[in-house]
Structure 1
């Protein structure tokens, strides 16, 4: 019996990584050139725009970024005046991050560009395919997260 061989081009983690990197690179080129933002910084800005005030630990959970990446991105955004901090009344050991008015204005400029780029990426997809892709990606994510807990 011939065991199943690993073929990288058909290996799910590899394909997801390649697709993610290709999409991130396409989007980040516009962000970096026009706004001077790295991918990690843009992700934090977006989560903060959606969440109002959030701890760095929660940012890490939502973005699936490690503590060091969150800390570096947050520091860079604080230094640029796009993000600020506040005491966390629920936990005196941590702080809350939030967008400054300048950060909200920047988000307002970038979000339409992100949505337009997403539209270009999905231009050849039917509405049904978009829904199916979203559903399948969520199932893969859930399966991966549940397997990590086992």
Structure 2
């Protein structure tokens, strides 16, 4: 069997995504002592506002245990608050506190700076080519039913 993992497209895409993600994670980890699941939960709440843990998991492609740990950590940092659903006491709504919104704003600045750095690394032509390839992949390969993405 002739198979080279290093040239297998899904493997290469995953490796590239992981490198990009790890480099950004190193920045927010050093600055805020935040994990990737915490960043994803914070970003989801900052972007979309009040959500349930289930909605955060669906939005960020995280398993419910990762969401639960991230929510607990953000709550301990006082960046997130919980409120019970008026109609269903089993459900909690989550939203950023004032401190959480401030951190989210700082994180967006950090994210934009990182995105600019990546854009400069690729150059205008390379960035347009990458965006076109990603758009083509996303358009031609819809998510598998019942699965929204990696279960980080």
TM-score by length of 1: 0.84
Aligned residues: CA RMSD: 2.3
Residue 92 of structure 1 corresponds to which residue in structure 2? Answer: 89
Give CA deviations for 1:87-120 in whole Å, capped at 9, x if unaligned: 1245332111110000000011111111111121
Paired residues for 1:1-150 under 5 Å: 5-89=2-86, 91-123=88-120, 124-126=123-125, 128-139=128-139, 142=142, 144-146=143-145
Q: Return 56-65 or 130-139, whichever deviates more.
A: 130-139
Local SS of the residue matching 2:144: helix
Distance 2:10 2:85 in 1: 37
Higher RCO (Cα < 8 Å, 6 or more apart): 2
- CA drift of 1:8 comes to 1.2
* Runs of 5+ unmatched residues, structure 1: none
The alignment covers a number of residue pairs equal to 145
* Runs of 5+ unmatched residues, structure 2: none
TM-score by length of 2: 0.83
- CA drift of 1:79 comes to 0.6
Distance 2:45 2:146 in 1: 28
Q: Return 104-113 or 16-25, whichever deviates more.
A: 16-25
Local SS of the residue matching 2:89: coil
- CA drift of 1:83 comes to 0.6
Distance 2:88 2:29 in 1: 35
Check 1:107–1:133 CA distance in 2 against 1; reply closer, same or farther (3 A cut). Answer: farther
